[in-house]
Amino acid sequence: MVTRSSKKVDSSKLSAEADCLPNGTAIARRDMTKPEIRRFLADLAKTWPDAETELVFSTPYQLLVATALAAQATDSSVNRVTPALFALAPGPAEMVALGEEAVGEHIRTIGLWRNKAKNIVAMSRQLVEQYGGEVPTTREALEELPGVGRKTANVILNVAYGLPAMPVDTHCYRLANRTGLARGKTVLDVERGLEERIPRELLRDSHHWLILQGRYVCKARRPECWRCAAVQDCLYPDKELVAPKRAKA
């Protein structure tokens, strides 16, 4: 990987002066400038040129169900259960007919499955009764559905409808604070910061770049800075630019 600077980072000195997230990880001491943001995002775009959600779905409704199931669960765990569920209930009317108990049987391997089964059926019933089985296209209407919060609503707007919404999960929140892309004490602060600071034409794709970068490179326990293509403009104070040696077997 080619870097723009070979200057060694004194991480111990910098981290001592930096604020931290609740889990103790250091965050940037300042926000990125506009040129830094554009370079940073350009590097992420090269890293994840075909970035998209890892949830498997065919319709906005199925994405809504899958996203609701993914709360406090992994996308891969959701993808293991939704094919069989969607085969029986591809739409909200079929989900209501399937019923809470049967839905629960299909998603038992997912955390909080009882409450999620209840919400999915209630949400599906509301879609049928109020929206003719269609998924609404506004954040306000989406958030009125059982089990749908702001992040899930933003996922639907971004992924299903192609709107410049910025869903902020734990990966986005951590990466935005660490790098200086958009620092904030709350998820809503970070969401608003990202929407304000990221160029509008890049906002929709940036959501996917940030999630994948946070999931696979800028990891919670130990960010793998030595293989990050955007490390040049990242303001994380505890960068490790040299890969650790593998432990001997």
Strands (E), the chain: none
Q: Is 70 helix (H, G, I), strand (E, B) or coil?
A: coil
The residues annotated as belonging to the active site are: 151, 169
**Contact of 30 with 180, CB cutoff 8 Å:** yes
Could you tell me if 180 and 235 are in contact, meaning their C-beta atoms sit under 8 angstroms apart? yes
187-197 and 170-179 are packed helices; what angle lies between their axes, rounded to 10 degrees? 60
31-68 as b/e: b if 16+ CB within 10 A: bbeeebbebbbebbbebbeebebbbbbeebbbbbbbbb
Structure tokens at 219: 């990891």
Q: How many CB atoms lie within 10 A of CB 198?
A: 25
Amino acid 107 reads I
Please report the DSSP string for 119-164 in residue order: HHHHHHHHHHHHHTTPPPSSHHHHHTSTT--HHHHHHIIIIIT---
Specify burial of residue 184 (Cβ count, 10 A radius: 0-12, 13-18, 19+).
middle
